[in-house]
Every structure is written in C-alpha cells, then in structure tokens.
C-alpha cells in the first residue's frame, strides 16, 4: 500500500505540469504524448523491487518535487557554456537550455548541403511527416522515464544526414540545465537519422549552471541506415545537485557501424540505459564507457545489445573509477536471437576501487539462442597494483603521482578511443581534475 | 657513499638478512654473489625501499643520510636506482612518458629546470642507441609485451637516462642471452665514473666478464661470508658456492 502512495506522490507534479507543454503539433504527436503520459501514470517510478533497478533507488528523484524547468530562463550566457565546450574549428554546436533550443548560443554554419541539424520542435511544426517515421519508434514507452520524456515531447535536437553524405564536422549537442526557483526538470530529446552510406559524429553533452537541484530526463534515438557510420558520444557532466536519467536507443541496419562512448563525470545520481538492436546482416556496434564516482555519487549503466541477424559484431568495454562512498552499477545484456548465427560479441567490464567504502555491482547477462556464435564477457574489480606503484616510486615519482599515472592509464584505455581529439583532451584534463588527491604528473 | 651496518631484514615474517655489513665508495663497482635464497635480492630490495621488506635492525647511511628513513621516491631523487629483477608491466603507461615524469621529478628535486619534450626526446634517442633499443619500445606501455631481454635492457635504459649516483642491478643478467648481456654490460660500463657507484647482484660470474667489479662479495644465508677482488668471482665459477658455507667473515671493502 505504501508503494502505491509513493507512486502517486512521485508522479503528481509531472502530471500537473504536463499542461504546460504546447498543445499544438501534429495529431500523431499529440496522441503519442497522451499515450506516454498514461503509461507513465500507470507505471509510476521504478522501485528497487524491480530487477532492473535493484541497486539504484530513484527515491532521491521521486522525493523532490521537480517542476518543469522554465522554457526561457534568464541568465545563461555564452560564458557559462565554456567548461562544456571543446574545439572551435570543425564543430557544429547546438545549445539547448532546459531542453529548448537556444539559437543565440548555437552555431550550425558550414554543414554540407542536405544535412539537417537543428531544433526538433521547428521540424515538428514545418514537416512533421519526415520526423514521424522515426521519432519515438525506437524508444517506445516501456520504461517509466522514457514514457515521461515522451509525454513532455515538444522539441529537442534533430540530426538528419542524407544518404551518401559524410559530415566532417563533429556535431555537438549541448544540453544545459538552468534551474529556476526550486528543483526543476527538463526532458531533452535527440533524434539522429543517418541515411544509407552516410557518416556522422555526434556528441551529446549534459551540464548544469548553478548550485540548484535539477533533474535531466533525456532520451536519444539513433537510426543508422545501411552501411552508415555513426560515432556517438554522451558526456554527462551534470552539477553536484543534478540527477540524470537517460536512455539511448540505437537501430543498426545492414552493415551499419555505430560506436557510442559514454563518459559520466557528474551528477548526484545518474542512470544510463543503452539499447542497441543489430537489425541487419554484418552490422557492428561498439559501446564504450567510463565513469567516475566519488563522495556519495552513483552511476548506473544498463546496456542491451540485441543481435537479431547473422554476422554482426559487438564490442563493449566499460570502466569505472570509484572512490569515497561512490557506487557503480553495470548490467550488460547481450541477446543473440536464433537467426543471429556467426555473432561475435565481446563484453568487458572493469572497476577500479580506490577506497574501501566504494561499491560496484556488476552483472553480465547473456541470452544466446543461436549455436554458431562467439560470445565472451569478463568482469574485473580491483585496486591499484602495489607492485606497479612501488616500481613507479622507485624511479622518483611520489605516491600521488604514481597513483594518478595508474588511474590515468586505466581511464586512458577508454578516453584513448575517443576519435574527436579536442574532446578527448578536454575529458582527459577534466578527469584528472576530478581524481582523488588531484595529483598531477 | 654507502655504509651498511649490521643490517637485518625480514620478509613475510622471516628474517632473511641476519646482520650484513658492506661499505661502498664512489667510483667502485661491487658484485654481490651467492646461491639462490642467500638474500641477494632482499638486500637490493631493502635498499630501494620495497614495502614488503622490513628492516628490523642495523643502519644504512647513503651520502651521510639515513637511507632507511627515506621513502622510495626520495631515495630515487637522492640518486639511488634499482634495476628490477622482475620489471613490472604497467598497462597503459607509455614508457617514455613515464621516464620523462621520473627524470623531471629527479631534476626538480635537484633544483634543475625540467626538460621539455624536445630536450627529453634528444636525450632519450641518444640513450636508446646506447642500449640498442628499438624506438618502438619507447612508445609502448612500460614493459608490457616486452621479452625478458627487452625488459632488462629497458631497465638499464632507464638507468642511463636517470643517471643515478648509486645503481643497484638486481640479477639484471638472468635470462639474458650473450648478445643481450653484452649490450646491457656496455650500457652499465658507459655509466661508470669516479663519482658513481654500482652494485651488481648476480648469481653467475659471466656478467662480471663484461662488468669488471672492483670487489666481489659472497652472500650466504643472509651474511657476507667472503669478500675479495674480481678473481673471487672466477674462483666461485670454478668451485661453486658449496666450499664457502659456514665461513662467515666481515666484509671489508
């Protein structure tokens, strides 16, 4: 009974605020939103009794009455964005404040003809039929947070790359939360459609302004057409008062190649769900991730890689650096459907515990229904190697330098795979700043 | 330079060195020989400050300082270098990046300006040539995927770059073929100078054909049982270690 009461309390402010969503838009969208809202109201927020949320209590989110963030908050200036930016040249930048496109802070010049990068809200108004065939199709409504995002769907980022086009510039989608009075929530939305044989790099980053409490509830859908190459990054650098729940839904057609790298450096609590469906022969999906938790922070990652067709490869490497009383959760599911013969799936999860109180819960989950496949998984939890520390010290590095060097090396394995150099350098510096002891080499 | 007095060291609760005395002056090369388990490597590790080796008695003075009171990195910064018997593989740490950090830590300690990337690379190329080190080894993770011989050569390469005052080579020759042994010895000899001392810990006499010591000490059961000139090594090669057991003497060098 208390369960039910908690659900009602949790959903109430959201149900009240949904009236603030613009009631216009195409009929299909209005219907989708209504369905999503009903679904959210039905499901309520998940509890730790659900297997998928066993180690992550969302009570801190449920207990705070997050109200829909103001659409046009005062006081977000270009200078506030600086810490989240990387590179100047060859980066197309779209800034969203509280989920709404901020044209004045954005720069979308220099894109190849036919490439559409801009405000999803504007596209929904001007040519909704083009968006309809993809939007919400992958994300669905199965999970409460995703349903909640869709219930509030009226804008966000849209990236459409026509068939055969290679976009040289990295496309940076920066979502900034600027809390108003009291705790606020925003529901960022991203849709990326990469046409056949196209190529694109997209960086989503999430950051906040100020010390207030806020909740970011993000959903991203990536549709990779036949032979498309998509290089995707998600950089979560929310403020200490930020709560972040996000999901990424990826569909890969025949021979598509999608890499997604998730870097989580901030937020009091962050949960990231990734679902990648390898839906065409010869597709290849790479999921990498690095998270840093300290204090009492928690980072939860759930990934599902669904092999439905033959000759698909998936590679997954996730690493966590945990200190203080930080907590990490990693759940990596690989499904190999009966038709998915010759699947090659490899999953690695490693956690580095820098304190006695830090905690990691890690679980690989393999569901294999085909017989001619190669699937491997490995999980390792460990501390810094004492022999290595002594070796480094005996050459003149002090203890802090030695530890930092080893932690950098551990993280470098993931950061080194970032193919956008200014982003990689930015994150390397950012990570170093956040390491316990703040040592430098 | 180094004055070891009545040194007792234990590891995992067992005493391995039972009161060792040794005196090393600048410019000298000392060889410490002895059978397996005699305490040779324990001596080397205790001198470098390995945390698993506890000194329970005795004293070690290095350039007038209490070496045992110093942290491993402070020993390194004061000019002590140990070439590891088993160099540690460190995944993800670039060999030259690490070496640059180490060299600059030493330089900083000495009040010298840190080397920039260009100056460092010039130095490193010169020293790599001395050790006939393949350039690719500089940019690989430290010792990872190195052959046994490459690891030992890399140790001496580090030593050549860091230019210690006191170098301790812990069985650097073990597992080396004769060609690698000559290269390593050549690297060590290049470093011999009147203001530098070298302690060569070895099980076999062969290395001493190439690094000719001024003094040879035989370690047995945690004590130096015999000391002599380079001819002692040849005698050991001939007769083995058996004839020395139970023949404790004080080491005078």
**Per residue, what are the HEC states of B30-81?**
EEEECCCCCCHHHHHHHHHCCCCEEEEEEEEEECCEEHHHCCHHHHHHCCEE
Asked whether the predicted pLDDT for residue A50 surpasses 60, the reply is yes
Question: What b/e readout covers A17-39, taking b as 16+ CB neighbours within 10 angstroms?
Answer: bbeebeeebeeebeebbeebbeb
The stretch A194-199 carries a mean pLDDT of: 98
Q: Please give the residue that has the higher pLDDT: either B236 or A325.
A: A325
The stretch A189-193 carries a mean pLDDT of: 98
Distance from CA of A347 to the nearest CA of B (A): 19
The stretch B140-161 carries a mean pLDDT of: 93
What span, in angstroms and rounded, lies between the C-alpha atoms of B4 and B21?
5
The stretch A229-247 carries a mean pLDDT of: 97
Hey, how many other C-beta atoms are within 10 angstroms of the C-beta on A88?
9
Which helix (H) or strand (E) segment is A28 a member of? Answer: helix A27-43
* The predicted structure's pLDDT at residue A1: 44
Return the bridge partners of B226, or none.
B218
* The predicted structure's pLDDT at residue B86: 94
Asked whether the predicted pLDDT for residue A8 surpasses 80, the reply is no
Asked whether the predicted pLDDT for residue A2 surpasses 50, the reply is no
Asked whether the predicted pLDDT for residue A73 surpasses 90, the reply is no
- Cβ atoms of A261 and A234 closer than 8 Å: yes
Q: Cβ separation of B98 and A408 shorter than 8 Å?
A: no
**C-alpha neighbours within 13 Å on the C-beta side of residue A223:** 20
Q: How many residues does chain A have?
A: 441
| pLDDT tens, position by position, B193-223 | 999 999 999 988 889 999 999 999 999 999 9
- Cβ atoms of B223 and B248 closer than 8 Å: yes
Question: What b/e readout covers A386-395, taking b as 16+ CB neighbours within 10 angstroms?
Answer: eebbbbbbbb
DSSP secondary structure code for residue B87 in this structure: P
* The predicted structure's pLDDT at residue A351: 97
**A385 chain-B contacts, CB cut-off 8 A:** 88, 90
Task: State the ipTM, two decimals.
Answer: 0.94
pLDDT band for A437, please (50, 70, 90 cuts).
low
| For A413, nearest residue in chain B (alpha carbons) | B92
* The predicted structure's pLDDT at residue A196: 98
What span, in angstroms and rounded, lies between the C-alpha atoms of B206 and B211?
9
Return the bridge partners of A351, or none.
A320, A381
Q: Cβ separation of B51 and A401 shorter than 8 Å?
A: no
Q: Cβ separation of A391 and B90 shorter than 8 Å?
A: yes
Q: Cβ separation of A388 and B84 shorter than 8 Å?
A: no
**A155: which 2 tokens?**
């804008």
- In the predicted model, what is the mean pLDDT of chain A? 93
* The predicted structure's pLDDT at residue A129: 87
Asked whether the predicted pLDDT for residue B246 surpasses 70, the reply is no
**B162 chain-A contacts, CB cut-off 8 A:** 395-396
| For A406, nearest residue in chain B (alpha carbons) | B93
The stretch A65-72 carries a mean pLDDT of: 87
| pLDDT tens, position by position, A250-305 | 999 999 999 999 999 999 999 999 999 999 999 999 999 999 999 999 999 999 99
The stretch B87-96 carries a mean pLDDT of: 94
What span, in angstroms and rounded, lies between the C-alpha atoms of B85 and B192?
21
Ramachandran area for residue A286 (φ above 0: left; ψ -120 to 50: alpha; else beta): beta
The stretch A178-203 carries a mean pLDDT of: 94
DSSP secondary structure code for residue B100 in this structure: H
| End-to-end Cα distance, chain A | 56
Report the range of poorest mean pLDDT among A11-20, A32-41, A144-153.
Answer: A11-20
**Which residues, numbered 283 to 302 in chain A, qualify as contacts with chain B under a Cβ-Cβ cut-off of 8 Å?**
none
Q: Pick the closest to residue B222 from B60, B39, B48, B27 (CA basis).
A: B39
Asked whether the predicted pLDDT for residue B124 surpasses 50, the reply is yes
Asked whether the predicted pLDDT for residue A3 surpasses 60, the reply is no
Which helix (H) or strand (E) segment is B207 a member of? Answer: helix B207-210
* The predicted structure's pLDDT at residue B241: 79
**A410 chain-B contacts, CB cut-off 8 A:** 92
* The predicted structure's pLDDT at residue B56: 96
* The predicted structure's pLDDT at residue B36: 86
* The predicted structure's pLDDT at residue B253: 39
Is the Cβ of A431 closer than 8 Å to some Cβ of chain B?
no
The stretch B22-31 carries a mean pLDDT of: 96
Q: Where are the domains of chain A?
A: 2-278, 386-441
| pTM score of the predicted model | 0.90
* The predicted structure's pLDDT at residue A77: 81
**A399 chain-B contacts, CB cut-off 8 A:** 71, 73
Is the Cβ of B73 closer than 8 Å to some Cβ of chain A?
yes
Q: Cβ separation of A409 and B93 shorter than 8 Å?
A: yes
Q: Is B245 helix (H, G, I), strand (E, B) or coil?
A: coil
* The predicted structure's pLDDT at residue A9: 57
Is the Cβ of A339 closer than 8 Å to some Cβ of chain B?
no
pLDDT band for A318, please (50, 70, 90 cuts).
very high
Distance from CA of A434 to the nearest CA of B (A): 19
Residue with tokens 């369905």: A35
Count, in order, helices (H) and strands (E) of chain B.
8, 10
Count, in order, helices (H) and strands (E) of chain A.
10, 21
What span, in angstroms and rounded, lies between the C-alpha atoms of A6 and A43?
12
Strand ranges for chain B from DSSP E:
2-11, 14-24, 29-33, 53-62, 65-66, 80-83, 166-170, 197-202, 215-220, 223-228
Q: Please give the residue that has the higher pLDDT: either A148 or A16.
A: A148
* The predicted structure's pLDDT at residue B247: 54
| pLDDT tens, position by position, A338-375 | 999 999 999 999 999 999 999 999 999 999 999 999 99
**% residues pLDDT > 90 (chain A):** 83
């Amino acid at each position: 009974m208390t369960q039910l009461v908690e659900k009602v309390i949790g959903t109430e402010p959201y149900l009240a605020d949904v009236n603030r969503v613009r009631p216009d838009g195409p009929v299909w969208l209005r219907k989708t939103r209504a369905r999503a809202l009903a679904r959210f109201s039905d499901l309520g927020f998940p509890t730790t009794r659900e297997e998928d949320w066993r180690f992550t209590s969302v009570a801190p989110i449920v207990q705070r009455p997050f109200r829909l963030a103001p659409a046009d908050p005062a006081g977000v200036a270009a200078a506030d964005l600086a810490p989240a930016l990387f590179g100047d040249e060859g980066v197309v930048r779209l800034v969203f404040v509280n989920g709404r496109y901020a044209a004045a802070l954005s720069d979308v010049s220099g894109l190849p003809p036919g490439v559409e990068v801009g405000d999803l809200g504007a596209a929904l108004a001007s040519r909704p039929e083009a968006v309809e065939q993809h939007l919400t199709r992958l994300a669905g409504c199965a999970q409460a947070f995703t349903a909640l995002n869709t219930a509030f769907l009226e804008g966000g980022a849209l990236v459409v790359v026509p068939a055969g086009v290679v976009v040289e510039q990295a496309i940076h989608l920066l979502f900034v939360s600027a809390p108003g009075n009291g705790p606020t929530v925003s529901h960022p939305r991203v849709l990326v459609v990469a046409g056949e044989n196209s190529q694109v790099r997209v960086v989503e980053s999430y950051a906040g302004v100020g010390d207030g409490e806020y909740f970011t509830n993000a959903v991203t859908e990536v549709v990779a057409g036949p032979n498309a190459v998509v290089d995707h990054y998600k950089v979560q650098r929310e403020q200490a008062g930020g709560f972040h729940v996000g999901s990424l839904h990826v569909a890969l057609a025949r021979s598509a190649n999608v890499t997604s790298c998730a870097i989580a450096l901030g937020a009091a609590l962050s949960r990231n769900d990734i679902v990648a469906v390898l839906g065409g022969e010869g597709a290849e999906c790479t999921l990498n991730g690095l998270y840093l938790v300290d204090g009492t922070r928690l980072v939860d990652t759930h990934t599902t890689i669904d092999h439905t067709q033959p000759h698909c490869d998936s590679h997954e490497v996730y690493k966590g650096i945990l200190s203080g009383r930080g907590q990490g959760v990693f759940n990596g599911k690989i499904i190999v459907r009966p038709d998915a013969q010759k699947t090659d799936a490899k999953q690695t999860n490693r956690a580095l515990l820098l304190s006695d109180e830090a905690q990691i819960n890690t679980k690989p989950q393999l569901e294999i229904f085909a017989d001619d496949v190669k699937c491997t998984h490995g999980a390792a939890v460990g501390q810094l190697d004492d022999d290595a520390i002594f070796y480094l010290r005996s050459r003149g590095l002090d203890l802090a330098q030695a530890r930092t060097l080893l932690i950098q090396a551990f993280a470098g394995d993931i950061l080194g795979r970032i193919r956008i150099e200014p982003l990689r350098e930015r994150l390397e510096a950012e990570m170093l700043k956040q390491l316990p002891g703040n040592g430098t080499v | 330079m180094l004055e070891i007095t009545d040194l007792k060291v234990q590891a995992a609760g067992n005493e391995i060195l039972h009161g060792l005395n040794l005196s090393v002056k600048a410019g000298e090369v000392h060889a410490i020989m002895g059978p397996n388990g005699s305490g040779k490597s324990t001596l080397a590790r205790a001198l470098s400050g390995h945390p698993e080796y506890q000194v329970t008695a005795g004293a070690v003075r290095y350039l007038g300082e209490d070496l045992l009171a110093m942290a491993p990195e402070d020993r390194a910064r004061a000019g002590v270098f140990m070439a590891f018997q088993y160099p540690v593989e460190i995944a993800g740490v670039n060999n030259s990046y690490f070496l640059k950090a180490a060299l600059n830590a030493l330089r900083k300690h000495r009040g010298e300006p840190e080397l920039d990337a260009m100056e460092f690379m010039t130095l490193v190329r010169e020293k790599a040539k001395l050790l006939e080190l393949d350039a690719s080894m500089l940019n690989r993770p430290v010792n990872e995927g190195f052959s046994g011989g490459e690891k030992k050569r890399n140790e001496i390469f580090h030593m050549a770059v860091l230019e210690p005052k006191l170098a301790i080579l812990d069985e650097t020759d073990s597992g080396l073929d004769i060609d690698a042994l000559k290269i390593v010895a050549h690297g060590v000899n290049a470093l011999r100078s009147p203001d530098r001392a070298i302690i060569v810990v070895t099980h076999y006499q062969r290395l001493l054909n190439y690094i000719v010591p001024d003094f040879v000490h035989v370690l047995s059961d945690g004590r130096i049982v015999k000391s002599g000139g380079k001819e002692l090594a040849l005698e050991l090669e001939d007769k083995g270690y058996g004839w020395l057991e139970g023949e404790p003497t004080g080491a005078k060098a």
